[in-house]
Structure 1
Amino acid sequence: MDSVQLFLNEIARYPLLNAEEEVELAKKIEAGDQAAKNRMINSNLRLVVFVAKKYQNQGLGLLDLIQEGVLGLIRATEKFDWRKGFKFSTYATWWIRQAIGRALQNQARTIRIPVHVTERERKIEKAERDLAEHLGRAPTEEEVAEAAKVSLKQLREVREAARIVTSLDKPVGEEGDTGLSDLIVTGPHGLEEEVHVSLRQEHLRKAVAALPDREQRVIRLRYGIDGGEPQTLEKIAGELGLSRKRVRDIESKALMRLEEYREIEALREAV
């Protein structure tokens, strides 16, 4: 029996949690309860496997992907705020993807950049940081090359190699529609805020999709939900062949439905 199968057999022992149990555990974790943290992690290991399988054949074996994903799950357990009203599994998925994405990026660099180039890159990066701190501005390429004791040509070659390997447009994932930029944390609080924003957007899209066709179209146009510019009532009225007042009435009715949807979802999360 291989290591992956052993792991799968092990995690099958842990029962899944319902929403009420997640909140209860989250409160205990917040208070420093290690046993609660362990239970939250163990009960969500199936989620790690589910996400990890989507990133196979990208340079890391499944067990390695799972191990990286577990690190993301642990981080999610530590950062989860039950007051936000989101399901833990939805929140944790973002952290698991981020951890796996970072590992894939590091693996790509290890495979594709020779050791001597990697060492030279570190030397250049250090010189650039030191110069920026000393000069109080971004140093020129010539200044960096001189400080790092490399030629201008070498500096540019190293930067080009790094740029190619870490291209944030490289598709990853089962569908090939996710870039590494979607998986990499942008700062100490960047991903957490991105998670909350994205979850709110996800709930909004679901709510709008549940509206009657005409209300849905008015809301999408009015608030630019599909990525377009928000439109005025007059413009929407002209496009739909309705009066401005009629569009306003449709908008108001749709907003009331969305508010009802929000309240219903909040109740569902509490059940």
Structure 2
Amino acid sequence: MKRGRENGTLNYEEIMDALQHVDLAPEQIDEIYERFAEHGIRVIPDAAEESEPAQADEKHDEPEEEAAEAVDLSVPDNVSLDDPVRMYLKEIGRVPLLTAEEEVELAKRIEQGDEEARRKLVEANLRLVVSIAKRYVGRGMPLLDLIQEGNLGLIKAVEKFEYRKGFKFSTYATWWIRQAITRAIADQARTIRIPVHMVETINKLMRVSRSLLQELGREPTAEEIAERMDMTPERVREIQRMAQEPVSLETPIGEEEDSHLGDFIEDSDAPAPAEAASFTMLREQLEGVLETLTPREEKVLRLRFGLDDGRARTLEEVGQVFGVTRERIRQIEAKALRKLRHPSRSKKLKDFLE
């Protein structure tokens, strides 16, 4: 707010950065715009948007209807379009645009419950949704899904728009469209959901990282990013870890795609083949040695050392099983171990201890 009062303007990126840790309710968005109006702060597009030819419509010396026509319905080259998307873009390009007076007139009719006016105001601004949605391509959702989510935000903006406050509808709607798209990306684009405010933080970090890459000619370090973002290197590394996308172990590998990623990832918990074979042989030899003891001695050792289920019992617990004292169990155990130490038995196990 302080920056807005000093400059008289704020762009969307500045607002989003300031509110990235706040999950706003619909009513609070209206309150924010009211506060901006009270302090004479005008909301303008991002600097990056103003620099693009597609956004030449924001220049103040152009009539509003001409500016709206300049909204670019093209999409980045790396985005593949199927027929439904092409048909949709072509269709909304035919919808006539509205002047400021027509927007106010439609808003008045909407206030009186005119559904036809609501439909016209929505359709006349569908190209604005496309212009915003295409900026979020590459963040985990197809372009058509981004447009659909943005359209939901546009419909909400039409419902909430109050013409008496003097806001330009496209300025007001942009906030709702952006919020709808960013929430959808946070909720749907990732296998593991990331909160909305963290999505904005990740996006800001990516922008800073790309900017430093161009300046330095190499990948920036966490320390360099931290200095630019005014945070600690540890926090930068934490955000970078959050930004990583999970990869399916079933991802096909190779030209013929007959192998999967999981086939090439070592299981650090699994024993090596040689160790597994050695363990199996040791167990077989141990079983053979135990069979040379009396049944009682064998069972006492199995219970005391957890040879069957992995849980070692106390002298007290084993005594309860046999109905004798713990001292008697200690004696049986000591006698059985002395037998196992005899060379006739121990030599079968010594090779596994080397």
Both proteins in one fold, TM over 0.5: no
Scaled by the length of structure 2, what TM-score is found? 0.34
Q: Which has the higher relative contact order, 1 or 2, with Cα contacts under 8 A spaced 6 or more apart?
A: 1
More helix by share: 1
Scaled by the length of structure 1, what TM-score is found? 0.43
